[in-house]
């Protein structure tokens, strides 16, 4: 079973089989939710500017030094919620300053929480923006960040209660992390859509997921029924 994702059964099976070879075992529930969220975002916004980013905590080790960030950062599982709240708040101010009026949410999201050999967990995210309102990611460099990139960095620093820009590097922007998606081209015949979807499905891999600590390790935006 899979959601209304505009993929045929053959396309869906070919996609998941190919991604299993790349990423190992996939959680098919998460695969379906990721595809569903992308497709709903395209109906919600029509044109989407998507970004794949990683969020990490400071100092993935404990060295006994009370002055290290690992001792004073707020590294609880609610950090991801604080991140989204901070980003929404910044975007609201940005729109007000630019006199931009919108009737929809500023962005939709997909996130997953993982843990490898590091002391702390980390997050992988897909942020889906209305391309007609937000297009440029901006400068991603920690020392000279700007635009949406700077807002994302500030939001994560705010969530951890650490200073910006000192800890801006806790946000990682992978190579080729930005994608332009349009509803009319959202099929597996479109190379850009395929490439984006394959990158996003990384969040559905089973390996490194924590399932026994009582906290959520995956989430997607909700959509108002009337918008779809």
pLDDT score for 217: 93
Instruction: Look at residue 195 and tell me whether its pLDDT is greater than 50.
Output: yes
Instruction: Look at residue 78 and tell me whether its pLDDT is greater than 60.
Output: yes
Instruction: Look at residue 162 and tell me whether its pLDDT is greater than 70.
Output: yes
pLDDT score for 3: 37
Confidence of residue 61 (pLDDT cuts 50, 70, 90): very low
Measure the CA–CA gap between 186 and 141, rounded to whole angstroms: 31
Q: CB–CB of 159/79 below 8 Å?
A: yes
| Domain edges within the chain | 19-222
Confidence of residue 120 (pLDDT cuts 50, 70, 90): confident
pLDDT score for 69: 52
Measure the CA–CA gap between 3 and 6, rounded to whole angstroms: 9
Residue for token digits 């569903």? 36
pTM above 0.75, yes or no: yes
**Interval 52-63 mean pLDDT:** 77
Instruction: Look at residue 86 and tell me whether its pLDDT is greater than 70.
Output: yes
């Amino acid at each position: 079973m899979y959601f209304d994702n505009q993929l045929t059964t053959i396309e869906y099976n070919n996609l998941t089989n190919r991604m299993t070879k790349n990423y190992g075992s996939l959680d098919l529930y998460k695969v379906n939710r990721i595809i569903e969220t992308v497709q709903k975002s395209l109906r919600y916004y029509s044109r989407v500017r998507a970004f794949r980013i990683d969020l990490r905590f400071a100092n993935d080790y404990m060295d006994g030094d009370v002055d290290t960030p690992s001792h004073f950062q707020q590294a609880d599982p609610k950090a991801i919620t604080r991140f989204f709240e901070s980003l929404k708040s910044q975007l609201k101010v940005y729109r007000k300053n630019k006199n931009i009026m919108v009737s929809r949410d500023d962005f939709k999201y997909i996130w997953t929480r993982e843990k490898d050999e590091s002391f702390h967990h980390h997050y992988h995210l897909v942020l889906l923006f209305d391309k007609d309102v937000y297009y440029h990611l901006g400068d991603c460099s920690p020392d000279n960040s700007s635009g949406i990139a700077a807002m994302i960095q500030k939001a994560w620093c705010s969530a951890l209660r650490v200073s910006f820009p000192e800890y801006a590097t806790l946000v990682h922007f992978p190579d080729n992390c930005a994608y332009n998606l349009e509803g009319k081209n959202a099929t597996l015949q479109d190379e850009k859509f395929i490439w984006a979807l394959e990158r996003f499905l990384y969040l559905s891999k089973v390996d490194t997921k924590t399932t026994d600590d009582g906290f959520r390790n995956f989430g997607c935006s909700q959509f108002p029924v009337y918008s779809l």
